[in-house]
Amino acid sequence: MSPHGVVERPGPFCTIQDLGRRAGRRAGLAPGGAMDQRAFLWANRLLGNDPAAAALEITLGGFALRFAVETVVAITGARCAATLDGVEAGAWRTVRARAGQLLRLGYGAAGMRAYLAFPGGLDIATAFGSASAVVRDGLPGLLGRCLRAGEPLRWRAPDLRCPVRHVPEELIPSFPDALNLPLVVGYEWAEFSSADRDRVFDATWTVDSASDRAATRLAGPPLDTGPRVLDSTPLVDGTVQVTGDGLPLVFMRDRPTIGGYAKLGSVDPIALDALAQARPGTPVRFVRAEPDALRSALARRESFFGIRDEG
Amino acid sequence: MITFPGPVSALVSLPVPADREGIARILDLERVARDALPGVRATIPAFNRLLVEGSPSTWDPEEVEARLSAVAKECLAMAPEVEAGDTVSLPVCYDPELAPDLEDVAAGAGLSAAEVARLHSGARYTVLATGFAPGFAYLGDVDARIAMPRLRTPRRRVEAGTVGIADRRTGIYPTAGPGGWRIVGRVPPAFLADPTERISRFRAGGAVEFRAIGRDAYEAHSG
């Protein structure tokens, strides 16, 4: 089958993502899924796609795709100078392209990850209910690796007629110079010393460059390593774990399902979107979260984007 | 005890030991909890704990707590359904060349390397949890004489099939990667499930046995 487009340059880390998988979590498969789910969801919404349609997550730009058909795509996420045959294409909007045109995403000016969605979503085999690539889990084909130069892509509805749409200016998230991360305290929180519990909220942490899709590592004043955890515990999205060096890390989409170190609680799942866009060196503070408020915000988001529970 | 590690999740800890009966009770609890709560999206059983993740539109923490504690009470009152199913049997080579921590474990226990191998392969283990990474299983209990804590600093890379000990748990790394458990042997990787076919050979509650093999047999299986 002939491709609808070919990735000429994937950039440093380009993967196929959707909203991740729940199946297999019991057996250790990472949830996976778009790191910045808000940007991902907007990209699909612009095209009228299913909210979980597979799209590209492009890390740090440096990306180029040659279209083989006339079609329309949507670009959201990191600010990274999108051009179509050298003409500025804009972002947080749909972009029409003709066969033969080249879409480029330059190295980003702000943020870490851009999303490129296709009409109907990318046409790709799924595993355990999702098309999300988790490199460490060794799933077959594109579910287990980054895209390479020359990668052919097909999407499900290349002929979709879609009006030009853009995300309203006031709804486009900014890339703040510093982040507040709402923290639901839990797990072994009460067993950390009171000095350490104060330090968690008093300190300014910074995003460490050793961060990836599995965890955002934070640099700052080391805590005591906390209580010894006898048996590993199931983790939730955004779990904050303190490892042997006393520094906290926030588990992201490609996280393990079970963890054996002491944990402080978990970060607001919605705040993980902004954290996924935070560049190394970004200052971060933890603030106490009100779980009820976080849950209402999550419910509003799922209803707004039309996310349903399967089965 | 029920705690809430996130806005849409609950962690139930049963006051039972993390052993064969403990994981059996947790699996019973998991089955009942999935029906007793609306909108359950995922559950993860591990040792004597169960994580339940729900949907933000239907999750009411007070109701979740009331229902989960009722279900937990019920499960504690019943005799656990201990699994009698299949046993996974795996060959392990305890050659010190493949097992860099074997001598340390032996020295710590005041035993010979051969005795450590005998104690490790002589037990029948229960799968107390699956997860961390796909294909990994936490097996217990390791004989107290050869139980040793994790390395302070994990190795940057251990090979697929590596058999490690961490306290009273043992497990096999399904793929190469960083690892902090004390390495006492290696399973020929051919005996580990292909993740493309099935996530794991191990099921929580199931049983695992090891049989010691020599270096020649290991090489023959690995060839």
Q: Which residues of chain A have pLDDT under 50?
A: 311
Residue in chain A closest to B44 (alpha carbons) equals: A26
CATH code of the domain in which A205 resides: 2.40.100.10
The pLDDT assigned to B177 comes to 85
Q: Please state the ipTM of this predicted complex.
A: 0.94
Interface of B with A in 173-202 (CB under 8 A): 175, 177, 195-196, 199-200
The pLDDT assigned to A159 comes to 87
Residues A134 and A278 in one domain: no
Q: What is the pLDDT of residues A268-296, one digit of tens each?
A: 999 999 999 999 999 999 999 999 999 99
Average pLDDT across each block of 10 residues of chain B; the chain has 223 residues. List them in order.
97 96 95 93 96 96 97 92 83 96 96 97 96 91 94 86 96 90 94 71 93 95 79
Residue (of A190, A141, A156, A189) closest to A69 by Cα position: A156
- Position A310 in a domain: no
The pLDDT assigned to B223 comes to 67
Residues A220 and A127 in one domain: no
Residue A273 and residue A93: Cα distance in Å, rounded?
A: 19
- CA dist list (Å): A265 to A134, A158, A185, A298: 24, 44, 4, 18
Q: Say how many CB pairs under 8 Å bridge A and B.
A: 150
CATH class of B87-222: mainly beta
Cβ atoms of B91 and B213 closer than 8 Å: yes
**Phi, psi (5° rounding) for residue A247?**
-100, 140
Assess if CATH 3.30.1490.20 describes domain B2-77: no
Residue A269 and residue A278: Cα distance in Å, rounded?
A: 15
Biggest CA-to-CA distance, chain B = 60
The pLDDT assigned to A226 comes to 80
Q: How far is B183 from chain A (nearest CA, A)?
A: 18
- Position A298 in a domain: yes
Q: How far is A245 from chain B (nearest CA, A)?
A: 10
Residues A23 and A108 in one domain: yes
Q: Which residues contact A262 (CB under 8 A, 6 or more apart)?
A: A187, A188, A191, A192, A225, A226, A227, A228, A229, A241, A242
- Position A98 in a domain: yes
- What's the total number of domains in chain A? 2
Q: Which of A102, A136, A171 is the last residue of a domain?
A: A171
- Position A43 in a domain: yes
Residues A137 and A209 in one domain: no
Residues A106 and A187 in one domain: no
- Position A256 in a domain: yes
Q: What is the pLDDT of residues A179-222, one digit of tens each?
A: 999 999 999 999 999 999 999 999 999 999 999 999 999 999 99
Q: What is the pLDDT of residues A214-228, one digit of tens each?
A: 999 999 999 987 888
Say what the pTM is: 0.94
What residue has token string 């399973």?
Answer: B187
Nearest to B200 among A27, A231, A265 (CB): A27
H helices of B37-185, where? Answer: 61-77, 102-109, 113-122
Residues A129 and A87 in one domain: yes
Residues A12 and A141 in one domain: yes
Q: How far is A36 from chain B (nearest CA, A)?
A: 19
- Position A58 in a domain: yes
Phi/psi region, residue B221 (left: phi>0; alpha: psi -120 to 50; beta: rest), is alpha
- Position A295 in a domain: yes
- Position A162 in a domain: yes
The pLDDT assigned to A311 comes to 42
Residues A125 and A189 in one domain: no
Beta bridge partners of B112: none
* CATH 2.40.100.10 boundaries in chain B: 87-222
Say if the Cβ atoms of A238 and B6 lie within 8 Å.
yes
Q: Which of A144, A171, A198 is the last residue of a domain?
A: A171
Residue B21 exposed, middle or buried by CB count within 10 Å (0-12, 13-18, 19+): middle
Domain boundaries, position A52: 5-171
Q: Which of A171, A196, A221 is the last residue of a domain?
A: A171
Q: Taking the C-alpha atoms of A192, A193, A196 and A202 in order, what is their torsion angle to the nearest 10 degrees? A: 110
Residue (of A32, A60, A34) closest to A117 by Cα position: A34
* CATH 3.30.1360.40 boundaries in chain B: 2-77
Say if the Cβ atoms of B7 and A184 lie within 8 Å.
yes
Residues A185 and A163 in one domain: no
